[in-house]
Structure 1
Amino acid sequence: MAAAVDKVVRKGATAVALAVLMLVGIRAWQATQGPPLQPWHTIVPTELPADAIARGDWPAYVTAENKLFEQLHRDMQSQLQPGDRTPLNRYHDASLTSPAAFGRDWNRSFVLEPAGAALGVAVLLHGLTDAPYSMRSLAELYRQRGFIAIVPRLPGHGTVPAALTQQGRKEWYAAVEMAMAAARARAGGGLPVHLVGYSNGAALALRHVMGRIERGAPNDVDRIVLLSPMIEVNRFARYAGLAGLPAMLSRYAKSAWLDVLPEYNPFKYNSFPVRAARESYLVTADLHAAIEAVERQRRMGRVPPILAFQSVVDDTVSAHGVMTRLFDKLAANGSELILFDVNRTRAIAPMLRPAASGWSRTALQAAPRRYTLTVVGTASEGDAAAVARSRPAGGSALQAQATGLRYPADVYSLSHIALPFADDDPLYGHRPSGRRTVQLGAIAVRGERNALVVSQDSLSRLSYNPFHAYMAARIATEIRGQ
C-alpha cells in the first residue's frame, strides 16, 4: 500500500515539474518576442533600504527622495535615444506627458497644510504602480477641512517601472511607519488621525492598523478610509514569481516583465514587472495573517471605524472579498462598505455578465450585518438617476436616498482605477480642468484596430469616478464626525 502511494506521489511530482518546465519554456520564448526593453526598464534607481527608512524621519525621507529624482533624471537623459524623445514619452522633458507639464511633479511625496490651526492629520497611501498624484484630490479635501494631509511616495514608485524590480513590501511597510510617525508627531496626541488607502495602499493601511493591535501597541488611527482596497488579489499573483524564472539568463530578461509598454502616463507606470505582482500577493498574505491573529486574540473590537468604497466589478482585486475577508470580520464599530453597482438601465443591462455583477443584487437582502452596507446604483431599468440603497448595521429595513447624480449613459461600470478621480481631474477626468496637457480620461477610443501607439484597452477602461462628489461628501461627513 505504501509503495503504491509513493508511486502516485512521484507521478504527481513529475507532472508538476513538467508543467513548471513547460511554463518556463513558454515564458522564455515570449521573452524573445515583442518590443525591446527601454532605459526605464533597465535603469534601477538607488532608494533607501527599509532599515534606513525605519531609522529616519519625514525630512530625511524627502531629502533622499529629492536626490533620487535628480540622479535618475541625469541617468535617464543620458540614455534616451532620439527615437525616445516623443510627445508621449513621460521621460522626455519636452513631452506632453512630462510631469513638469502639470506645474508640479506629483510623483513626489508632499504635505498639504490647512489655512488655519490644524484640526487633524490624515495620511494618504497611493496604489501599486501609482504615485502620490492619485491622492491629490482627497488630500485637498482634507486640507480644506482643517487637516494636515501627508502623502508619502511609496518606494519604487513615481520614478521608473524598473524600480519595482527591486523595491517591495519591506520598503513599503517602513515608509508607512515613517509617515505614521510623522502624523503622530503633528497630531501631538490631541488631534484625530485618519489613514486613507487606495488599492495596495489600502492593504498597507490595514496591515499597519492590524499589526499594532496584534502587538498590543496603542492605536494611532481614529478612522480608516479605503478606496478599491486590495484585500484579495487574483490567484495568478500568488505564482507570478514562476513567470520570471527565465530572467535569470540575460537573454530572457524580458520574462521579468508581465507588460512592456510605452510610458505615456506621467503619474502611473504602464509596464509591470513580475516581482510587483508577487509582492502584491505577499502584502495581502501578510494582511490576512494579521487579521487572523487579531481575531484569535479577540481584539477586532479595537479596529477603528472603516469607510470603504468599492466597485462591484473589479478586474484587479476581488470586490466580494472586501466584504467576506474584511467587513464580515469587523466588530460593530460604525463601519460602512459602499459598493458602486453596474449600470442597470435597459440599454446596458442585457450586455452585463450576471456572474460578474449579480452578487450585489442579493447582498442587501442577506441577514443583518454588524456594519452598514450601501449600494449606489441606478434607480430602475428605465431611470439612470443614482440612488444609494442602504441597510444599516443590525437593521433589516432598506433605506434609499437620492444622490443627485446620474449614471453616465456611456459607462457600464466603474473600474478599479477610477475611484480617486473626479470627472474634472486634469489627467483622468471626462471633463478635465487645468492646464491643456495630455488628457487621458477625455479620449474617446473609436476607430480601427492597430492604429494607436498606446493600448486601446487602457484608454477604454474608465479612469474617473462619476460618483466622486458623493464619495467626497461621505468622507467629509467622516471628517466632521471627529
Structure 2
Amino acid sequence: MATTPDDDDLDPLPESSLVSRILAVAGTLLRKGAVLVALLVLVVVAVRACQSTQGPSLQPWHTIIPDEPAASEISAGNWQGYLTAEQRMYEQLRRKLDSAMKPGDRTLLNRYYPASLTSPEAFGHDWNRSYVLEPDGAAKGVVVLVHGLTDSPYSMRSVAELYRRHGFIAIAPRMPGHGTVPAGLTKAGRKEWHATLEMTMAEARRRAAGRLPVHLVGYSNGAALAMHYVMARIERGEKRDVDRIVLMSPMIEVNRFARFAGIAGWPALFSRYAKSAWLDVLPEFNAFKYNSFPVRAARESYLVTDELHVVMEEVTAQRRLNQVPPILAFQSVVDDTVGAHAVMTRLFDRLATNGSELVLFDVNRSRVIAPVLRTTATDWVGDVLQDPARRYTLTVVGAASSEDAAVVARTRDVGSDVVKQQPVGVRYPAEVYSLSHIGLPFAQDDALYGNVPSGKAIVQLGALAVRGERNVLVVSQESLSRLSYNPFHAYMLARIAEKIPAK
C-alpha cells in the first residue's frame, strides 16, 4: 500500500537550482527586451531613411565642408595662427561656393549670394568671424566671449561692446564649424570647441599679463563650454584664470532626444539617404546663424553637457566647488532649447556661497495672456523666491501684476528674508508672451534681430511680424514668430556692467 510522505519528508528546492531558474528567467526577459529595442531602432532608422527622400534637396552649403584645423592643431597653435587659418579657410570656401552655386541659388534671400539682402556683407563687416575689440585707452581687463551652437560671434557683439566701453579687451572666437556653412557642423565638434576656448584663454592670459582681471562670457552652448573650461581647471588643480563668469541661456541641460540623435543619422551611411544626416534642411536666410541643423550637432551638444556634468561631479567629490568664480546668469523661465529649471537645480543650487546671482525672465502674466499659457511650463517659477536657504542671489524679472505691465525685478539676497522689488523702467510688451532662448543677447534695435527699423537694405528678421494665409512664405511662420530680441536687454547689460571693475 502506497504511503503519502509527510511534508517534513519533502526535499526543498536546492538554492542553486532556484538561483539558476531566476537567472534563466532574467536572461529570457533581457533577450526579449534587447529584441524589442533592436526592432524599435530599426523602425526609427527605416522612418528616417524614408523621410530623407522627401522635402528639399541638399544644397552646396550642406555638402561643402570647410577645411578647418583639427583640435590637435588648434591646441598647438595660438590666437594669431587661428586667425590666419580662419582667413585662408574663408577664401577657399568662397571659391568652392561660387563654383558650386547654380543661377537659382543667387537670390535676395540666400546669405551665400554676396548681393543678397541676407548676406553678411550687407552689414559692412562679416561678424561671423573671430574678432577683438580694443578699448580706447589703457586696458583695464580682458573678456572672452563664447557664442552658441549654429551661432556666430555676432551674437556677442553687444556684450563685447559693453566691456570695450568699460576698458576691457574683448576677444570673441569663432567656434569651428560655425559662421561658414551648415556642413561645417557635420565635421567640427566639441573637441575643436574645447581646444579653441583653451587657445583663446591662453591669449587672454597673455594680454592680462597676470595683472588684469579676466572675465568669461558664454551664451547657450558657449556657456556650457565656458563652465566646462572653469570646472576642468579646478578638477586638474590648476590655478584659476577667470575672475567672473557671465552666462546667457546656459546649456546646462538639453532635450533628452539629443542623447540618441546619432541614431537618426545612421541611414546617411548610404548615399541615397544622405539627407538623414540632417534634422532640418532649410533656406539659409539668416546672415549670422544657420537655419539647417545636422544630426551630429545635436549629438555633440548633448556630449558637451554630459562632459560638464561629469567634471562637476568630480569637482564636487573633491570639495572644490568653493573655487568656482562668481557667476551672473540670465535665463528665460521658458526655453525650448535648454532646460530652464536645470540652470537653477543642476548648477546654481550646487554652488558655494561666492556672490553668484541667477536672473530669471518671467513670462507675461497679464490677464489676457495668462489663460493661454501652459502652466506646466511656467508655474515652476512661482515660489522660487520663497526659499531662504539659497546660497546665491535670485532675481525674477517680470510684470508688476496681471493688471500692471510695468516690469519690476524681485530679488532675494543670500541670507535675507526680504524680497526687494525694483522697477526696471520698461513695460512688458503686450504682444510678447515670453522671452526666448535665441533672443537674450540681442537688443530691440539690433540691425538683424531687433524690431526697431534699422534703415539698412537687409531683411530684418526681428521686424517680420507677419500675418496671412498658410503655406505661402518661403520661410516658416514659426521661425518668424519666435522672439529674436530681448525687451529687457538694457537691464541685462546694466546688471553685467555692475560687475565690471572700474579700475
Cα RMSD over matched residues? 0.8
Q: How many aligned residue pairs are there?
A: 482
Q: For 1:127 and 1:404, locate their aligned partners in 2 and report how far apart those are by CA, in whole Å.
A: 29
SS at match of 2:260: helix
Secondary structure at the residue paired with 2:386? coil
Offset from partner CA, 1:448-479 (integer Å, 9 cap, x none): 11000011111000000000000000000010
**Partner SS, residue 325 of structure 1:** helix
Match of 1:374 in 2: 395
| 1:420 and 2:441 correspond | yes
Contact kept in structure 2, 1:92 and 1:98, CA below 8 Å: yes
Whole-Å Cα distance in 1 between the matches of residues 410 and 457 of structure 2? 38
Tell me what 1:88 maps to.
Answer: 109
Pairing partner for 2:284 from 259, 263, 275:
263
1:215-254 aligned at under 5 Å gives the runs 215-254=236-275
Amino acid at match of 1:346: R
Counterpart residue identity of residue 19, structure 1: L
Pick aligned residue for 1:197 from 203, 214, 218: 218
- In the TM superposition, what is the alpha-carbon distance from 1:152 to its structure 2 partner? 0.2
Deviates more, 1:269-278 or 1:345-354: 345-354
The CA distance in 1 between the partners of 2:333 and 2:233, in whole Å, is 30
Match of 2:154 among 127, 133, 158: 133
Q: In structure 2, what residue type is equivalent to 1:75?
A: K
After TM superposition, give the deviation of residue 436 of structure 1 in Å. Answer: 3.2
Q: Mapping of 1:70-109 within 5 angstroms?
A: 70-109=91-130
SS of residue in 1 equivalent to 2:400: strand
Q: Which residue identity is paired with 2:278?
A: W
Amino acid paired to 2:169: I
1:308–1:434 Cα change, 3 Å: farther
Contact 2:117 2:458 in 1 (8 A): yes
SS of the residue 2:296 aligns to: helix
Q: Paired residue for 1:68, among 85, 89, 109?
A: 89
CA drift of 1:433 comes to: 3.0
Q: Is the 8 A contact 1:368 1:396 kept in 2?
A: no
Query: Please, which moves more after superposition, 323-332 or 363-372?
Result: 363-372
Give the corresponding residue for 1:59.
80
Distance in 1, matches of 2:465 and 2:306, equals: 38
Matched residue SS, 2:286: coil
Q: State how far apart, in whole Å, the 2-side matches of 1:396 and 1:290 are.
A: 34
Question: Post-superposition shift, 1:367?
Answer: 3.7
For 1:438-449, list aligned pairs within 5 A: 438-449=459-470
Match of 1:393 in 2: 414
| 1:315 and 2:336 aligned | yes
In the TM superposition, residue 346 of structure 1 has moved relative to its aligned partner by 1.0
Q: Does 1:115 align with 2:115?
A: no
Counterpart of 1:478? 499
CA distance in 2, matches of 1:163, 1:60: 20
CA deviations over 1:61-119 (Å, ceiling 9, x no partner): 00000000010000001010011011000001110011000000000000000000000
1:147 aligns with 2:168: yes
Which residue number corresponds to residue 162 of structure 1?
183
Match of 1:328 in 2: 349
Counterpart Cα distance in 1 of 2:356 and 2:62: 42
Q: How far has the Cα of 1:481 moved from its partner?
A: 6.5
C-alpha offsets along residues 282-326 of structure 1, whole Å, 9 cap, x if unaligned? 000000011111100000000000000000000000000000000
Where do 4+ consecutive residues of structure 1 move more than 2 Å?
Answer: 432-436
Amino acid at match of 1:376: V
Match for 1:34 among 49, 55, 58? 55
Query: 2:80 is matched by which residue type in structure 1?
Result: P
In the aligned structure 2, how far is the partner of 1:97 from the partner of 1:394?
A: 50
Match for residue 355 of structure 1? 376
Q: 2:232 aligns with which of 199, 205, 211?
A: 211
Q: 2:306, 2:24 → 1: CA distance?
A: 37
Give the SS at the match of 2:47: helix
Q: Deviations over 1:403-444 (max 9, x none)?
A: 001110000000000000000000000104363311000011
- Residue among 413, 416, 429 paired with 2:450: 429
Identity %: 70
Deviation at 1:396? Answer: 2.1
Cα distance in 1, alignment partners of residues 473 and 455 from structure 2:
26
Matched, 1:345 2:383: no
CA contact (8 A) 1:155 1:171 kept: yes
CA distance in 2, matches of 1:189, 1:388: 36
Q: Give TM-score, length-normalised by structure 2.
A: 0.95
Which residue of the partner structure matches residue 172 of structure 1?
A: 193
| Distance in 2 separating the partners of 1:175 and 1:435 | 33
Q: Paired residue for 1:279?
A: 300
Name structure 2 gaps, 5 residues minimum: 1-20
* Contact 2:243–2:325 (Cα < 8 Å) also in 1: yes
What is the one-letter code of the residue matched to 1:146? G
C-alpha separation between the residues in 1 aligned to 2:468 and 2:444? 24
Residue deviations 1:205-261, cap 9 Å, x none?
A: 000000000000000100000000000001000000000000000000000000000
Separation in structure 2 between the aligned mates of residue 330 and residue 66 of structure 1, nearest angstrom: 41
Aligned residue for 2:328, secondary structure, equals strand
Q: Which amino acid aligns with 1:307?
A: L
Q: Normalising to structure 1: TM-score of the pair? A: 0.99
CA distance in 2, matches of 1:31, 1:218: 49
Report if aligned partners of 1:229, 1:310 keep a CA contact under 8 Å in 2: yes
Deviation readout 1:143-197 (Å, 9 max, x if unpaired): 0000000000000000000000000000000000011000000000000000000
Alpha-carbon distance, 1:445 to partner: 2.0
Cα deviation digits, residues 349-381 of structure 1 (max 9, x gap): 111111000011111112420000000000001
User: Shift in Å at residue 388 of structure 1?
Assistant: 0.3
CA distance in 1, matches of 2:293, 2:448: 21
What amino acid is aligned across from residue 478 of structure 1 in structure 2? Answer: K
SS of the equivalent of 2:224 reads helix
CA distance in 2, matches of 1:412, 1:267: 25
1:18 corresponds to which residue?
A: 39
Q: What letter matches 2:235 in structure 1? A: E
Partners of 1:298 and 1:448 lie apart in 2 by 58
